[in-house]
Structure 1
Amino acid sequence: MPPGPLPDALQLTFPMTTPDSAVFPTHIIAVPPTGARRRHALFAVHADWVQLHCATPPPLPPAPFIELGYRSAALPVVVCALPSPETFHALRTFLYNKDVDEVSDYLTPLNRMWATSFRLADMQAAMIHGVWRNACFLGMIEPEIYKAISEAWKEVYAVRQDFIRRGSG
């Protein structure tokens, strides 16, 4: 999508291989650009799913009616100024697959490269904080996500404390 003002709706075409029983997305969440990013980040979502798992989702207009057999729909675009746009995909992924291990791996990757320097550990802490800020902003009501955030924070905090103790922070 070219830079500039956002349209009220975006036409989405679904693959012909999609079964008729598929539940198509109902809205496009547009996260405003930050930093060097000049375009909105766009995420297709299902209103019911977002409203089921978030206490304070952005206001969503009525979803379009998609007739059985149609493979295209104009989905309403909803701007949502998240506190940490760059980490939203972790929460969106969790909303859909409920795989807390995947979120944990995102928050504290197993390769632990982030644990090799204080600066990288700080960057990992900022990412964890971003996921937490987004979860709070959206009012996510899933205890598993907050447990994963808490465990990741403990791990990064311990690494940072170790750097400080060794005098390499």
Structure 2
Amino acid sequence: MYQHQHPAAPLPNLQLPRTLNRPAFTEVQRDAILAVEPNLGQVPFEYIRKGLHARGEELMASINAAKVPPQLPRTRLPASFDIAPTHGTPPPTHILAVQSSPSSGRPVSDAVFLVPTHHIVLAAHCAHIPRLPVSRPQTRSSGAFAVPVMPLVVPHAEAFAPLHAFLVAHRLDRLMANLLPVPPAMLAATRTGGASAAAGPFAHVSAPQVATYLAASAAGDKMSALMALTRTVSAIWRNACALGVFDRDLWAALDFSWEVILGAMNMVATGAV
């Protein structure tokens, strides 16, 4: 475990949980994987995920190469997008039209976020996602692929992209860049003291040290800046819970970030920084 330190005093006028609750583990559905990749029927789930992680950069390159608008009104969503072929990478299988659920407590927006994806990534990582419709993008006479649009409702649509990128590429450093505005070197130091991978990816990191930096470097109204970070972490956490994502490194990143931000808020609230 990373070095853990509870805040010394309660935070004033803030209703924030001390920890992020983790739902009971649920494995992904074999039927969901079979629906999109029948040849993986006998392959263990963990082996499927490791294989996807090994191809993460290839799949991410395919996603980044797919030129679609970042947002569109729901009323203007087409049934598919034409995606130009790229050398050496398969096209995305779906364009997700991601919108926030009405239960998120905010007015329902007409805009949806468009995120290209590969169906096997979602099927192999998301235990609670509805069974995905099979997609075999058709080739147009122009050579482009017609990739279908699929609606997806999550608690916080604007926070889906960082979670999705992590599921595809499994790059913890990129995820942390979205969660904590600290120098990457603070989180990427070599493990010391005989810490093993089983101890978690932040076993070598001092949470109080990172919290001190975060509190000292927050610009403007420090508490407001830190509260904005809690909203980002909370939004990604809610999306992960809703989709049924139980990746160990993802949860370690969320837990560590939450502890660091609360520690920084306590330092600001008590005048320690």
TM-score range, shorter chain: 0.7 to 0.9
Could you state the TM-score of these two structures normalised by the residue count of structure 1? Answer: 0.82
Please give the secondary structure, in 2, of the residue aligned with 1:32.
strand
Distance 2:159 2:73 in 1: 21
Q: Does 1:9 align with 2:50?
A: no
Q: Which has the larger radius of gyration?
A: 2
Query: 63, 77, 99: which is aligned to 2:135?
Result: 63
Q: Which residue of 2 aligns with 1:24?
A: 91
Amino acid at match of 2:132: L
Matches for 1:20-169 after TM superposition, within 5 Å? 21-32=88-99, 38-66=110-138, 71-110=143-182, 112=214, 113-114=217-218, 117-166=222-271
Please give the secondary structure, in 1, of the residue aligned with 2:80.
strand
Could you state the TM-score of these two structures normalised by the residue count of structure 2? Answer: 0.53
Please give the secondary structure, in 1, of the residue aligned with 2:153.
coil
Question: Retained in 2: the 8 A contact 1:31–1:41?
Answer: yes
User: What is the aligned length?
Assistant: 164
Question: Retained in 2: the 8 A contact 1:115–1:121?
Answer: no
CA offset at residue 38 of structure 1? 4.6
Gaps of 5+ in 2: 1-68, 101-105, 184-213
Distance 1:37 1:121 in 2: 26
Question: Retained in 2: the 8 A contact 1:11–1:72?
Answer: no
Amino acid at match of 1:11: F
**TM-align CA RMSD:** 2.8
Distance 1:122 1:8 in 2: 37
Question: Retained in 2: the 8 A contact 1:9–1:74?
Answer: no
CA offset at residue 8 of structure 1? 6.3
Gaps of 5+ in 1: none
